[in-house]
A and B are shown apart, each in its own frame.
Chain A
Amino acid sequence: MEPIAIVGIDCRFPGAPDTGAYWDLMMRGADGVGEVPGQRWDAKEFYSQAGEEGHTNTTEGGFIADPDAFDNEFFTISPREAAAMDPQQRLLLQSAWRAVEDAGIPPRSLAGTPTGVFVGIMGNEWAQLHLTDYANVTAQVGSGNGYCMTANRISYHLDLKGPSLAVDTACSSSLVAAHLAVNALLSEECDHALVGGVNVALTPALSIFYTQAGLSAPDGRCKPFSAEADGIGRGEGVGVIVLRRLRDAIADGQRVYAVIRGIAVNQDGRSNGLTAPNRWAQQDVLAAAYRRAGVEPADVAFTEAHGTGTGLGDMMEIKALGHHHAGRAGTPMALGSVKGNLGHTEGAAGIAGLIKVALSLHHRMVPASRFAAKENKRLKLRDHGLRLLKAPLRLPAGPAVAGLSSFGMGGTNAHAVLESAPPEAARPRPEDDAPVGGIGAAVFTLTAPNTDALRRNLLAQADAAAARRVPLGPLARAGNRVKAGHRHRFAAVAGDTGELVARLREAATDPGLLARLSGSPDGRPRVAFLFTGQGSQHPRMTAALYEQSPLYRHFLDEADAALLPHTGRSVRDLVLAGDEAVHSTRWTQPALFAVGYALGRTLEELGVRPGMLLGHSVGEFAAAVLAGALPLDGAARLVTARGALMQELPAGGGMLAVKAAREDLEERIAPEPLVGVAAINGPTSTVLSGDLEALERIGAEIQAQGLSTRRLQVSHAFHSPLMRPVLARFEAIATEVGGGVPEIPVYSTVRGRVLDGEAMDAPYWVEHIGATVLFGDAAAALLTEGPTHLVEIGPQPVLSGMVRRLGRPTSGTGPAHVLPVRGPESAGRDLAEALAELYRGGVEPDWDAAYTPGERVAQPLPPYAFSTEHRYWARNPVRAPGTVAAAAAEPASAALAPHRETETATASVLTLDPPTGPADPVAEAVLGAVRLVGGYTDADVVLHDRLYEDLGFDSVMVMELKNRLEARLVGIGTLTVQDLLPRLSSVGDLVTFLRELGAALPVPASLGDAGENRTLMEEERTA
């Protein structure tokens, strides 16, 4: 069969809260088994050493920590619904999310894809506890139970549209689920498949069953193939893996843990008793898996056995394996079972084994099998071609093949054959012909649904990055790719991993810094590029960026190559050499064009797509190229000619910036034929241009009036009457170059407004030379379009200050000024900071362009750290019937109570949302109803909460909310859901709607239907 890759893993087992800890537990031969936690059942009450009826012979088992913790807010599940959900559903949901992240896939990117979900599960104890209290079976209790929901919940919350099903074949459930997933991938029913297994022991039922059946180990521990083996110990766990066809995983450069080469399932049929293991069927399923994988038994280096540690089970399993391996040459096959560490995790046993084998092949080391040192000699392992893993086994270099067995109590057997990942998939290498990229610094990003989650996850990432040396580029890129999709966006720039760790920790502890480094954009960003004009140039401008950023280097080289035929000398070299000639307009103009083009294209390549463009004077050439109005070569020719022609003009011209309005200067320049208004940069910011002597004269007069003036560093009097002599020759060249209508709106400084279907052609560029630069008008027009970000494109910030001085044309905070180049020393870090700021503001960068091809390799990050603040559990541990009458009498619904870890008494007074002001009884009633239906506490719900997005309401809850509102309020007549639905965007919206209807609180005196209300409200109190 076609190989299937395991690309993502997440799990939790006794003594091991995550995948790394699971591996450590196995490698240390550690014991995950302990006393039954008081939260589950009273172990003493059900204990009987002799295993009397209704009792179990052990007080121990493998229990996971914190099975009650659930981050319902992350999945926008209301506390009431969370409390009604089988903890197995909750654990799987969180684990599924983390496994997808571990695969290097942002979970939200799977939304809408036909990804399959296959869950193996055999425990239904939550339902047994809660679905038998018929009076209190609510809608939430219904959907909170049932095997199907374990898989369907994952499909729902991740929006996965492939097959979604739960499998119960008892102890082989999760390996059978893997079998179905593999087949679904092979038949191309789906391209990704999640395979999960889960088991949480809520009642002693199975422990009693094992004891009564003579299968229960008194110490609660499975001792596989050991001379001391004396039965099963129960274990818990949850595990999810992500599967893909190997070729797809390799094509996507995903890290592959291991490969499933063959997998088979069969049944004992009518064997020696329904629950007895059957050696012949096991033998057959092994043969079928080997055949499907195309391997000889002797190829298998080790097998993870079912290994429950019961006398008969161990014996049958060894015989079945022996049938295939007894004759093998060389070393016997190594054998072990993780049940020695965890106990029998039942529905999760298959996934526990599958993850163990995958990790073993990944680490090229098979952990020792606990209790193997005291081998059961009667099994005669050696004669069967087998040996126990008494010490960790180092796998030799080259491909290694492993087997995995999982057998169900009812006779459904499964066996899988796995192989180590091909070298290129185990450690993906960068592509050879990858496009250029790299900005000279890394932008680490991470998103979370709220700031607490942000903090928690920043710390998790910092700890992981600090623990082991990881190259920064791949690490940051993994964050960019995988940690995307939540509302709060964090972005920090770093030059090395150590700096990043410090930054993350600082941000997690300093709320001010966290606020600066994160953003939660509301809408789509609207980005404008502003290109600087003459005066912003300087020797070695952007040289440091050129040295550090391969991406920028690529585009500056490209511009230089386009200019070279016209300039005859490399403008790039001139700039990088620090040649002062950059201040001669002949070089200034092509040099600024090159920098503007290169910086603009760099940002575009990074995914920053401007919706508006504006160029100050000569800055318009680069803007025109980005707008598609001029081709690069044409613009290069034009700008070079422009500079050269102007250079030929006699010296003696200059420019003078004046802090005054144009109108106030008219009088002074009217008598000066050689002086004109070159630019109007703002209401009181005007630039005069022309004959130097005349300018000096005017300047002196203006200064005498107390107004400030400044001479600009230019070689000529641009945009002045002195330019006239070049127009004819320039026009000839411009006509040859041509020019079209911009495809991105250009706010023209010639026209002082957006170009409206007007071409940037020869007449435009000729007019451009002499016309006053109407920057103030063009910028004001641009601002009225509501850009969110103004990105200044040039060797130093000039235009941002001018725009700020224009004042704020509209209400609101105004656009953010983004400066990818901040000055002469600017390098990769400033560009990275700019990208980070744009990302925080809602831009979706093409992150790959920010990294060199060598950095574009998969790098695993710790998966999402869920909140453990909220906990949901049955209120009382399970007791034996009749032991405490009061406990039995208590309605089960009371057991379905959400509680927090540090629960304090709920405030008896409703907390009002500040905007509504004090004592708004209608708002209070609505908030109360919403809290009641959702199961939230007072502090959890405020008026601006959105019912669906923030509070996790669904249609069933809306129906209930309607009834609650009718019970609490008068004057609203009969509400219909149709009326209600459009007004449910937020709680506040609902309050407004009800007030419009005339809602009021029932007055105790006014009887009538209030009596009904009271009854309903009393009902609420007892619910």
Chain B
Amino acid sequence: MTTATTHLASIGTALPGDPVDNATLAKVLGINEDWIEVFIGTRTRYFARDLGTGVVRWSLADLCAQAAEKALAAPGVDPSEIEFIVLGTATPDTLMPATVNHVADQLGLDQVPTFQLQSGCAGAVQALGVAQSMIASGQYRTGLVLGGDVCSKHLDLQRDVSGAASSDLVNYVLFGDGAGAAVLTDEPRGQRVALRHVLNRFTGLGRKPGQVIEWFGLADRYDDRQAVTEDYKAIEESVPVMAVEILWEILGELDWEADRLDYLLPPQLSGRMTRRITEELDVPAAAEVSCVADTGNNGNALPFLQIEKLLERMSDGERALAVAVESSKWIKAGFALEKV
């Protein structure tokens, strides 16, 4: 008996509201627009929270459900076939219930196993990996995979950041909100894209985290801890090296020639970092598929946004490889797609 190859049948994404450009963000936060342009390289992003009033307009569940709705409405897909749901996120609406269950509720799905993976940039890939294993087991044929983040939870509009250090400012201008969804099947349907390989590996033994997002409860809600901290130096140093290794590991695993790779989906840290990493990855034959400069770093939504852009161009027999690095505890992630 051969195990079923997982296929991606459809994709859907959701970005909240209108794009926020650097001029607007610079004005609201009272920081330099050119600085964002030059050092971050991100042009626009989307926020689920109203930039003027701070009011939350969309929850993570809302965004995930919007994205899923699109994926489920695509040709070749039937919502009634969904047998499981997996969501990867670092910013759930509540710790309980898990957001994935609210998404199921909004979609009208019931009596299915749901999973939520607590993860940063690698969460969407991990969700794909779980889905692939479930389908390969033969026990399930169709599942819904979701990824999304609402980073604006940490966008404190009351704070005066005019005197803040650049390492602190980065957190205000780097991130955005969004969600993505994909329907996976055990046979080529819809988009007919085979999921050839998924890589998900913890490599942070003995290493300090590169990124930490705290959470606060009643006992420590007034703690003076910074909610989001990043070790940008470690990230700049390690992510490119890890990205190259991920690329070559997947190529080696599949015995794919780099020359024959059609598309590369590099890690989406920021417009500037992604450009740098893409240069390091050095696969000139492959067309780069990136979105972060326009969407902001919205975490687990990014791979779906990239796949959506990829599918607009991908034709039969073409191959794509995605690389993601989660710098929190140094997780290597990536996946390979082939249109059949």
Query: Which of B94-102, B245-253, B289-297 makes up part of the contact surface?
Result: B245-253
Q: Say yes or no: B252 contacts A29, CB within 8 Å.
A: no
Q: Say yes or no: B246 contacts A391, CB within 8 Å.
A: yes
Q: Which 5 A-B pairs have the closest CB atoms?
A: A390-B248, A391-B249, A391-B245, A391-B248, A29-B241
Q: Say yes or no: B241 contacts A392, CB within 8 Å.
A: no
CA distance A390 to B241 in the complex (A): 10
**Chain A residues near B251 (CB-CB < 8 A):** 390
Q: Say yes or no: B252 contacts A368, CB within 8 Å.
A: no
Among candidates B238, B246, B249, B252, residue contacting A28 with C-beta atoms closer than 8 Å:
B238
**Chain B residues near A390 (CB-CB < 8 A):** 244-245, 248-249, 251-252
Kindly state whether residue B166 has any CB partner on chain A within 8 Å: no
**Chain A residues near B252 (CB-CB < 8 A):** 387, 390-391
What are some 14 contacts across the A-B interface (CB < 8 A)?
Answer: A20-B206, A27-B203, A28-B241, A29-B245, A373-B244, A373-B248, A390-B249, A390-B251, A391-B247, A391-B248, A391-B249, A391-B252, A392-B249, A467-B206
Identify 13 new A-B residue pairs, CB closer than 8 A, beyond the known A374-B282, A390-B245.
A24-B206, A24-B207, A28-B238, A28-B241, A29-B244, A368-B248, A373-B282, A387-B252, A390-B248, A391-B249, A391-B252, A392-B249, A468-B206
Within 8 A of B (CB), among A342-392: 368, 372-374, 387, 390-392
- Give the Cβ gap from A33 to chain B, nearest Cβ, in Å: 15
Q: Say yes or no: B206 contacts A368, CB within 8 Å.
A: no
- Give the Cβ gap from A374 to chain B, nearest Cβ, in Å: 7
- Give the Cβ gap from B22 to chain A, nearest Cβ, in Å: 34
CA distance A750 to B266 in the complex (A): 91
CA distance A434 to B131 in the complex (A): 49
**Chain B residues near A30 (CB-CB < 8 A):** 241
Within 8 A of A (CB), among B217-246: 238, 241, 244-246
**Chain A residues near B206 (CB-CB < 8 A):** 20, 24, 467-468
CA distance A29 to B245 in the complex (A): 9
Q: Say yes or no: B245 contacts A392, CB within 8 Å.
A: yes
Within 8 A of B (CB), among A22-73: 24, 27-30
CA distance A387 to B255 in the complex (A): 11
**Chain A residues near B248 (CB-CB < 8 A):** 368, 372-373, 390-391
**Would you call the interface of chain B mostly helix, strand, loop, or mixed?**
helix
CA distance A30 to B240 in the complex (A): 11
**Would you call the interface of chain A mostly helix, strand, loop, or mixed?**
loop
- Give the Cβ gap from A228 to chain B, nearest Cβ, in Å: 11
**Chain A residues near B246 (CB-CB < 8 A):** 391
- Give the Cβ gap from A338 to chain B, nearest Cβ, in Å: 15
CA distance A330 to B247 in the complex (A): 21
- Give the Cβ gap from B5 to chain A, nearest Cβ, in Å: 21
Q: Say yes or no: A368 contacts B282, CB within 8 Å.
A: no
- Give the Cβ gap from A328 to chain B, nearest Cβ, in Å: 15
Interface string of B119-161 (1 = CB under 8 A from A): 0000000000000000000000000000000000000000000
CA distance A559 to B282 in the complex (A): 77
Among candidates B207, B238, B245, residue contacting A368 with C-beta atoms closer than 8 Å:
B245
- Give the Cβ gap from B259 to chain A, nearest Cβ, in Å: 10
**Chain A residues near B247 (CB-CB < 8 A):** 373, 391
**Chain B residues near A29 (CB-CB < 8 A):** 241, 244-245
Within 8 A of B (CB), among A483-512: none
- Give the Cβ gap from B310 to chain A, nearest Cβ, in Å: 23
CA distance A374 to B244 in the complex (A): 10
Interface residues of B (CB under 8 A from A): 203, 206-207, 238, 241, 244-249, 251-252, 282
- Give the Cβ gap from B283 to chain A, nearest Cβ, in Å: 10
- Give the Cβ gap from A779 to chain B, nearest Cβ, in Å: 56
CA distance A27 to B282 in the complex (A): 21
Instruction: Considering the complex, give the chain B residue whose CB is closest to the CB of A21.
Output: B206
Instruction: Considering the complex, give the chain A residue whose CB is closest to the CB of B283.
Output: A373
**Chain A residues near B241 (CB-CB < 8 A):** 28-30
**Chain B residues near A24 (CB-CB < 8 A):** 206-207
CA distance A392 to B203 in the complex (A): 11
Instruction: Considering the complex, give the chain A residue whose CB is closest to the CB of B281.
Output: A373
- Give the Cβ gap from B281 to chain A, nearest Cβ, in Å: 8
CA distance A764 to B203 in the complex (A): 74
- Give the Cβ gap from B87 to chain A, nearest Cβ, in Å: 28
- Give the Cβ gap from B315 to chain A, nearest Cβ, in Å: 28
Instruction: Choose among B247, B249, B251 the residue with the greatest number of A CB atoms under 10 Å from its CB.
Output: B249
- Give the Cβ gap from A393 to chain B, nearest Cβ, in Å: 8
**Chain B residues near A28 (CB-CB < 8 A):** 238, 241
CA distance A372 to B282 in the complex (A): 12
CA distance A372 to B245 in the complex (A): 10
CA distance A28 to B206 in the complex (A): 12
**Chain B residues near A372 (CB-CB < 8 A):** 248
CA distance A30 to B251 in the complex (A): 22
**Chain B residues near A391 (CB-CB < 8 A):** 244-249, 252
Instruction: Considering the complex, give the chain B residue whose CB is closest to the CB of A388.
Output: B248
Instruction: Choose among A24, A368, A467 the residue with the greatest number of B CB atoms under 10 Å from its CB.
Output: A368
CA distance A30 to B245 in the complex (A): 12
CA distance A27 to B252 in the complex (A): 18
Instruction: Choose among B238, B241, B245, B247 the residue with the greatest number of A CB atoms under 10 Å from its CB.
Output: B245
CA distance A20 to B249 in the complex (A): 24
**Chain B residues near A468 (CB-CB < 8 A):** 206
- Give the Cβ gap from B321 to chain A, nearest Cβ, in Å: 13
CA distance A27 to B206 in the complex (A): 12
CA distance A392 to B332 in the complex (A): 11
CA distance A373 to B279 in the complex (A): 12
- Give the Cβ gap from B306 to chain A, nearest Cβ, in Å: 21
CA distance A374 to B251 in the complex (A): 14
CA distance A374 to B206 in the complex (A): 29
- Give the Cβ gap from B317 to chain A, nearest Cβ, in Å: 23
**Chain A residues near B249 (CB-CB < 8 A):** 390-392
CA distance A392 to B241 in the complex (A): 11
- Give the Cβ gap from A330 to chain B, nearest Cβ, in Å: 11
**Chain B residues near A392 (CB-CB < 8 A):** 245, 249
**Chain B residues near A467 (CB-CB < 8 A):** 206
- Give the Cβ gap from B206 to chain A, nearest Cβ, in Å: 7
- Give the Cβ gap from A470 to chain B, nearest Cβ, in Å: 14
- Give the Cβ gap from B201 to chain A, nearest Cβ, in Å: 9
- Give the Cβ gap from A19 to chain B, nearest Cβ, in Å: 13
**Chain B residues near A373 (CB-CB < 8 A):** 244, 247-248, 282
CA distance A28 to B203 in the complex (A): 9
- Give the Cβ gap from B132 to chain A, nearest Cβ, in Å: 19
**Chain B residues near A27 (CB-CB < 8 A):** 203
**Chain A residues near B238 (CB-CB < 8 A):** 28
**Chain A residues near B244 (CB-CB < 8 A):** 29, 373, 390-391
- Give the Cβ gap from B324 to chain A, nearest Cβ, in Å: 15
- Give the Cβ gap from B300 to chain A, nearest Cβ, in Å: 24
Instruction: Considering the complex, give the chain B residue whose CB is closest to the CB of A390.
Output: B248
Instruction: Considering the complex, give the chain A residue whose CB is closest to the CB of B203.
Output: A27
CA distance A909 to B227 in the complex (A): 58
CA distance A1011 to B339 in the complex (A): 100
Interface string of A380-413 (1 = CB under 8 A from B): 0000000100111000000000000000000000
- Give the Cβ gap from A396 to chain B, nearest Cβ, in Å: 13
CA distance A373 to B283 in the complex (A): 10
Instruction: Choose among B206, B246, B248, B251 the residue with the greatest number of A CB atoms under 10 Å from its CB.
Output: B248
Within 8 A of B (CB), among A648-693: none
- Give the Cβ gap from B228 to chain A, nearest Cβ, in Å: 24
CA distance A24 to B238 in the complex (A): 12
CA distance A390 to B245 in the complex (A): 6
- Give the Cβ gap from B229 to chain A, nearest Cβ, in Å: 21
Instruction: Considering the complex, give the chain A residue whose CB is closest to the CB of B241.
Output: A29
- Give the Cβ gap from A334 to chain B, nearest Cβ, in Å: 9
Instruction: Considering the complex, give the chain B residue whose CB is closest to the CB of A27.
Output: B203
CA distance A24 to B241 in the complex (A): 13
- Give the Cβ gap from B242 to chain A, nearest Cβ, in Å: 8
Interface string of A602-643 (1 = CB under 8 A from B): 000000000000000000000000000000000000000000
- Give the Cβ gap from B168 to chain A, nearest Cβ, in Å: 26
**Chain B residues near A387 (CB-CB < 8 A):** 252
CA distance A391 to B238 in the complex (A): 14
- Give the Cβ gap from A29 to chain B, nearest Cβ, in Å: 4
